[in-house]
Copies of this chain bind each other. A is one copy, B any other.
């Protein structure tokens, strides 16, 4: 066991990804109780919701767990751009007997400016806190550090990795191009080199002085064994946990994920306003169609676009069409399994041991 895992007091080099909206307190607790690091995404809730979720995890486990906050640049409202986007979506709303919303709201606050969330975290003092989409200001980092929390940041390239290290995080999560859900790029307007998990993990291990947790496309124990060989201290798996009964994934999302080799994924900005990897579904098909037909109409800023996306999903779902949901998944989706979380963790641990044993005996 590495010194970082010892510091975390977890037995297995396995992190469950926080997955805002999908990970539940029950999932996080089950994963942590099984010897891995369970996690909650707080990006889609407010301070009160965060307090409640953390209390629910604590009611079910005494083991460490991890909470994640979104640290995006606060959304820039732009009435013209939002109206154009709603107009582009209007025919699809109408196809399901609905009208688009008259206006869009900024449905989530960024941790960059959410003092109530900072106070909630300082008070609740979760053992591990991670940042997605960027880094908080130094005084916020210092306040969290003072709670004794281990601090992590998602990064997608060497430059973001160096910035995270300079800010003083304890480790980075190397989020490769394969990863499902929101891509953690700090600046979505900057060119994205789209580094794959393999290249990114090795580059960060070679370039940074802090431990690296690898994420993206890891679905089984062989994958975990592989990232350990790349020098990562642990693997973070999201898609592998989506179909656990403890997750909040809808039946339609589970079914789409468990479609085997038909579970293809694509990076899209149309659902939320930021690049995110989704199962190919009605929404990503619509996004491709809109991009071809009206390339000048771009989704509003994150999370304003997400307000429209959620409304479209609700309208279609009311008519029985569930293909407009945010069905985030990584490129390893065809390898997803529907197992209870504890059983999945034990299976991953067995597979990891087998992969290491097979390896030791290979020559």
Using a CB–CB cutoff of 8 Å, the interface residues on chain A facing chain B are 1-2, 158, 176-178, 191, 193-200, 202-203, 205-207, 216-220, 222-223, 225-231, 261, 264-266, 295, 330-332, 334-335, 355-356, 359-360, 362-363
Chain B residue nearest to A363 in the complex (CB): B1
- Asked if residues A202 and B227 are in contact (CB atoms below 8 Å), the reply is no
- Asked if residues A362 and B228 are in contact (CB atoms below 8 Å), the reply is yes
- Asked if residues B222 and A196 are in contact (CB atoms below 8 Å), the reply is no
Q: How far is the CA of A203 from the CA of B225 in the complex (A)?
A: 15
- Asked if residues A261 and B207 are in contact (CB atoms below 8 Å), the reply is yes
5 further A-B pairs in the complex, CB-CB below 8 A; given A158-B261, A178-B199: A1-B363, A193-B265, A194-B194, A199-B216, A203-B332
Copies of chain A in the complex: 2
A2 CB → nearest B CB, Å: 8
A359 to chain B: which residues have CB within 8 Å? 228-229, 356, 359-360
A255 CB → nearest B CB, Å: 20
Which among A1, A198, A231, A359 has the highest number of chain B CB atoms within 10 Å?
A198
Which among A2, A222, A223, A229 has the highest number of chain B CB atoms within 10 Å?
A229
- Asked if residues A217 and B229 are in contact (CB atoms below 8 Å), the reply is no
- Asked if residues B222 and A226 are in contact (CB atoms below 8 Å), the reply is no
A217 to chain B: which residues have CB within 8 Å? 196, 198-199, 202
Partner of A198, one of B176, B206, B231, B334: B176
The contact sample of 30 A-B pairs, CB cut-off 8 A, is: A1-B363, A2-B362, A158-B334, A176-B196, A177-B177, A178-B199, A191-B266, A193-B266, A195-B331, A196-B216, A196-B217, A197-B197, A197-B198, A198-B216, A198-B218, A198-B226, A198-B227, A199-B330, A199-B332, A202-B220, A202-B223, A203-B331, A207-B334, A226-B230, A229-B229, A229-B359, A295-B295, A356-B359, A356-B360, A359-B359
Top 10 nearest A-B pairs by Cβ distance?
A199-B217, A196-B196, A199-B331, A226-B229, A178-B196, A225-B229, A197-B198, A226-B226, A198-B217, A178-B199
A235 CB → nearest B CB, Å: 10
- Asked if residues B335 and A206 are in contact (CB atoms below 8 Å), the reply is yes
